[in-house]
Amino acid sequence: MAYIHTNGVKLYVEETGAGDAILFAHEFGGDHRSWSPQVQHFAAHYRCITYNARGYPPSEVPEDEERYGQQLSTDDVTGVLDAFGVERAFVVGLSMGAYTGLMFAMQHPERVHGLVFASGGSGAYPHTREQFLADTRRVADTMLASDSVDSTGMATGPSRVQLQNKNPQVWEQFAQHLSEHSARGSAYTLRHVQAERPSLYDFATELRAMTTPTLLLVGDEDESCLDVNLYLKRNMPYGGLSIPAKSGHLLNLEEPERFNQLLEEFLQTVKAGRWQRRDPRSETVSAFGQRS
């Protein structure tokens, strides 16, 4: 474990194992501990790096709201990798961490072997975006007023009940960890990361230009992310989409063995140079293709 100073904040980082580096970026409701099933599995052959985002103790919780934002979160990935001397890594992100990973891969493609975009896309779907933004700001205000993250309510959200049903013990641990988060840090993250980041639908040109091997993962019961991942699949020539059945938002905790297997297959395929661009002939809704 270590603390690093980057972009004006102190971040808590853990490193386990040796080999090709995997950087894990957590979701809004999680922290570095959420990746324990993956670190335990992959540390035997990979250098696993986990960290707590700014606003998530024991990382620093800035009091100034201007020290939160999506670009700052993206730059923090650079800071973590630089602090550990990692020139290039696999980046695995869940939800908020998936968005940050995608932005990092867009801005620094030379530093990403491959990207796993898991449970990402909340708030991007055009038909529900305004509701997402209003809900996000309302929850942030409530957190600040009550000085609480309302861990029970958040942990039983519509895309997290799947974990509660599949593994109550792991869900209880997740809820306990969530209750330990900073209300201020979480609220400012909601206001200035979640509610101010651009919609993924604003990046169609950049997505089509990406050549980074990307695995898109979304549970079939993760309603706010399903349509977005189909959009990403159709706009990312090097993106592959996997939709685990009967699954919600917390894919890596709900069924860690299945998640680890999908991740392992992706890592090995990329390392072998077998993750190829989508055949342009498949990019049509026609069942018969183009006629001469």
Q: How many CB atoms lie within 10 A of CB 69?
A: 18
Residue 256's contacts (CB-CB under 8 Å, 6 or more residues apart) are: 37, 38, 41
Residue 102 pLDDT more than 90? yes
User: Please, how many CA atoms are within 13 Å of residue 189, restricted to the half-sphere of its CB?
Assistant: 25
pLDDT of residue 57: 97
Confidence of residue 100 (pLDDT cuts 50, 70, 90): very high
Both tokens of 238, joined, read 């090097």
With respect to residue 65, please indicate whether it lies within any of the assigned structural domains: yes
CATH number at residue 44: 3.40.50.1820
Q: What is the rounded CA–CA span in Å between residue 22 and residue 89?
A: 6
Task: List the one residue out of 220, 243, 259 whose CA is nearest residue 92.
Answer: 259
Confidence of residue 152 (pLDDT cuts 50, 70, 90): confident
Count of domains forming the chain: 1
Residue 64 pLDDT more than 80? yes
With respect to residue 77, please indicate whether it lies within any of the assigned structural domains: yes
Task: List the one residue out of 245, 253, 265 whose CA is nearest residue 33.
Answer: 253
With respect to residue 187, please indicate whether it lies within any of the assigned structural domains: yes
Task: List the one residue out of 201, 235, 13, 239 whose CA is nearest residue 118.
Answer: 239
With respect to residue 291, please indicate whether it lies within any of the assigned structural domains: no
With respect to residue 76, please indicate whether it lies within any of the assigned structural domains: yes
With respect to residue 256, please indicate whether it lies within any of the assigned structural domains: yes
Query: Phi-psi region for residue 236, left (φ > 0), alpha (ψ -120 to 50) or beta?
Result: beta
Percent of the chain at pLDDT exceeding 70: 99
- Between CA 214 and CA 222, with CA 217 as vertex, the angle to 5 degrees is 145
Range of the domain at 168: 2-282
pLDDT of residue 291: 52
Q: How far is residue 181 from each of residues 158, 189, 199, 241, measured CA to CA in Å?
A: 21, 12, 26, 32
Q: What is the rounded CA–CA span in Å between residue 50 and residue 32?
A: 5
Query: How does pLDDT run across 185-236, given as a tens digit for each residue?
Result: 999 999 999 999 999 999 999 999 999 999 999 999 999 999 999 999 999 9
Residue 292 pLDDT more than 60? no
With respect to residue 217, please indicate whether it lies within any of the assigned structural domains: yes
With respect to residue 112, please indicate whether it lies within any of the assigned structural domains: yes
Query: pTM, whole model, 2 decimals?
Result: 0.96
